[in-house]
Amino acid sequence: MTTRLTCPSCRAEIPTGAAFCPACGTASPTVITGERATAPPAGGPPVVPTLERLARALGPKYDVKRLVGRGGFAEVYELWDKDLDRRLACKVLHPEIAWTPGMLARFRQEAKALARLQHPAILPIHFTGDGEGLVYYVMPFVEGESLADALRGRGPYPVPEALGIAESVLHALAHAHAQGLVHRDIKPDNVMVEVKSGRALLLDFGIAKLLDPGAGEGGAKTGTGFTVGTVQYMSPEQALGQPTLDGRSDLYAFGALLYQMVTGTPPYDGESSAEIVGKHLADPVPVASDVNAKIPRWLSTVIVKCLAKKPEDRFQSADAVLAAIDAGRASGSTREVGAKTLERQVRRSGAMRRSSVLGWWVAGALAVVLLGGWLARRGGYLGSGVAYLRNALIEPVEILRNGMPTDTVGPEATVRVWIGRSGGAQLRWRLVRPGNPPIGEPLEGSLPAVQRVRGRRLAIVTADAGGQPYFAPLITNTSPSDITLEVNPGTAAAVRCNCLVPKGAARTHIGYYRLYGNSGVAAYNSAHPYFGPHVDRQGFAARVAPSSGVVVLTF
């Protein structure tokens, strides 16, 4: 008979094998199986230090030099291979892990699969072994530091350096995924940056699967006293214990790693594993460029797509992420051009000469003219290739270039855009809908016509797409209950907003909707949403603000 697990906090049912409750994120209760782990008999000899036990397990061909590091599930020792005169590293899995015979057999089987990986960005496993109560694997010794240590010591990486490391990791993942192998524990601790070459190496490929007692075919999930994976980087499907993970789970963890590289912190953090997992499952995906303004918008978009909650909404392969990074680079420079850069350009042009005072005056005047012209073009006063785009809506909009988001414009904000000779034909804008999941109707349009406003070339995004006006109801709820809303009720354009406005809420945003002469908004008691309208508001089309589409409604 199968026992149904329930969450100790919220009493929701926990799916078989889930590490955390899908409702509140609380860690799953431990499940005990009938398989027994080998353990030393009670009252046996005193515990021997791991270094001595490892030396006996490896035999006389290897000298165990020293302990060089300790992690969450293993210790790392430096070895000397006497036969081949080379340094090696040996990772010894913590003896506290209760290794069953089935786990040991699968460990050896998976190690054979991992041996197929031959890639310059993957640190290979030379061989595995067990003895003296230890389970271990041996790999090359690399002089370097983990990405985790580097981030702790120096903080976030500049975008070009972060992308260099990210691309190495992606190439490694593409190679492994093509072999049908999933890492399952992508995190900064498992990326090594070599001191001499600066190259990034991916470590411990597949070790999370080797440690997972339920990862084998037909194996039941069992409690082992530890969680497979690291919660700050764990995909929702891995946290929920789904039996089959694919490369898209690695891409989620990669997105969390890249987010930390450019911002300095993981995308989700908290005081407990349950809190962090709950954020992975339910919180909106953070935008890296909102944390660090130096991050280009296209890179934030790549990270957001990697961190999509559902695997089908992410990039479907590591190669697709690499292609998105290449496209983002090609969309424009990530560096700002300032006065010093302009001065260097003037110097290189030969305009500034030290040979005469006149040369300095000419060069200075030229620099002023160039700088003034550059500022005028940047301000949208000169030339036809530059304009400013103002967002008149009450929600942010994304600017799309050839379908790729390049920038985000907040409500009532203005940004500079390069429209080039095409006059902005390749540019579009798209509404960023509120809520998670988003509410309201999608709203997107081409670049509005550029007009001169006080000498500046300006394009204004308004609540109109292709001649179809839209409106944005701002809801104030003075009723005694929470309400849910339907926009344009009783018409072919009727839309349930899939939202709840609590009692006492003021000017709540519920998104944008198509506006007609007979448009209306109906409010329903949230406890009985299908028993008829609580109140209806119609005939307000004339009160809708023409640019922003805003109309304030009180229920």
Residues labelled catalytic: 185
Task: Tell me how far apart the alpha carbons of residues 426 and 451 are, in angstroms, rounded to a whole number.
Answer: 18
| Contact assessment for residue 439 and residue 429, using Cβ atoms and an 8 Å cutoff | no
**Strands of the sheet with 427-431, listed across from one edge:** 404-409, 397-401, 427-431, 444-446
Radius of gyration of the chain (CA): 30
Cβ-in-10-Å burial (0-12, 13-18, 19+) of 425 comes to: exposed
- HEC profile for 115-132? CCCCCCCECCCCEEEEEC
Q: Is the peptide bond before 437 cis (omega within 30 degrees of 0)?
A: yes
C-alpha span between 395 and 58 (Å, rounded): 64
Residue type, 494: A
Could you give the CA distance from residue 135 to residue 53 in angstroms, rounded to a whole number?
Answer: 11
Q: Is 243 exposed, middle or buried (0-12, 13-18, 19+ CB in 10 A)?
A: middle
Residue 251 is inside which H or E element, if any?
A: helix 247-263
How is residue 173 annotated by DSSP?
H
- As a residue count, the chain comes to 555
Q: Which residue has the tokens 């969309």?
A: 331
Contact between residue 62 and residue 1 where contact means Cβ atoms under 8 Å apart: no
Please give, one letter per residue, the 3-state secondary structure of 256-289: HHHHHHHHCCCCCCCCCHHHHHHHHHHCCCCCHH
Give the Cβ contact number of residue 323 at 10 Å: 12
Upper half-sphere CA count for residue 209 (Cβ side, 13 Å): 24
d(CA 242, CA 235): 10
Strand partners, 451: 458
Q: Which of 384, 553, 534 is nearest to 452 (CA)?
A: 384
**Distances, alpha carbon 89 to alpha carbons 63, 122, 154, 192, 210, in Å:** 11, 15, 26, 13, 19
What angle in degrees, to the nearest 10, is found between the helix axes of 297-306 and 318-330? 170
